[in-house]
Amino acid sequence: MFKALGAVLLALCTVASSVHATTAGVDHPGSLPILLSIDRVRAGLKLDSLQRALLDSLRGEYRSAARKLTNPMPVTAQERAAAEKRLLQLNERFNKRALSVLNDDQRAKLSEIEGRFLGATMVYAPSVQAKLGLTEQQKQQVEGIRRQGVAYVGKINRKFEEGKISQQQRLQLLRSRRTSQGAEILQVLTPKQRNAVLALAGKKLAS
């Protein structure tokens, strides 16, 4: 399930094509209204008909608002940075509304799904950093990795917009970048922190 879900979510992370380049340093990167529109996620959370209807409406509102961020398409680095900031604010607002539709058990299950997709890049989230007890030096190293990812994936998005690569190629490159970022993050962590991240991601603990 999660391999297929990951491919879908990589596409969602670039819904505002040249805007949102990689996982942001927030607790819920990406759009929860979009994530919660995926049938397998809905089935896993056991959403009822009212919840599905509310989330369908919220997804429509979100998509309309997100499209406005790329009309016109940001061109300069300054315009892209401003658009990314607006997208993060948009996501935060709509994510809160999406979470309010779920009950406590469903919110906990959703966190597990996000963790399985994000892998070690979940460490970008302030709440995860606090849970792991990252030092200030570790936080700076992790942020450096994130910013490098922003620059790289932004370049990949521009290649896609210019017709130099296909959508499938873009998704493959984004997937590879997320994997390499995860490996870099794990190197920053202590063995105990590393095992905690792997456990949160639903993977076997390192020996």
Widest CA span of the chain, in angstroms?
51
H-type alpha helices, 68-188: 77-101, 104-118, 126-132, 136-161, 167-188
Q: With 0-12 CB in 10 A as exposed, 13-18 as middle and 19+ as buried, what is 99?
A: middle
Q: 79: which residues sit within 8 A by CB, 6+ positions away?
A: none
User: Smallest Cα–Cα separation from 134: which of 188, 199, 202?
Assistant: 188
Structure tokens at 156: 């990949």
Structure tokens at 140: 């700076």
Average pLDDT across the chain, whole number: 83
Q: Which helix (H) or strand (E) holds 52?
A: helix 49-67
Identify the pLDDT of residue 131.
92
Q: Which helix (H) or strand (E) holds 2?
A: helix 2-12
Identify the pLDDT of residue 24.
58
Asked if residue 156 lies in contact with residue 167, where contact means CB atoms within 8 angstroms, the answer is no
Q: How many CA atoms lie within 13 A of 23 on its CB side?
A: 31
Kindly report, residue by residue over 18-60, the tens digit of the pLDDT. 344 445 567 777 789 988 999 999 999 999 999 999 999 999 9
User: Smallest Cα–Cα separation from 156: which of 17, 27, 9, 45?
Assistant: 17
Annotate 55-66 with three-state secondary structure: HHHHHHHHHHHH
Kindly report, residue by residue over 130-162, the tens digit of the pLDDT. 999 999 999 999 999 988 888 887 788 888 888
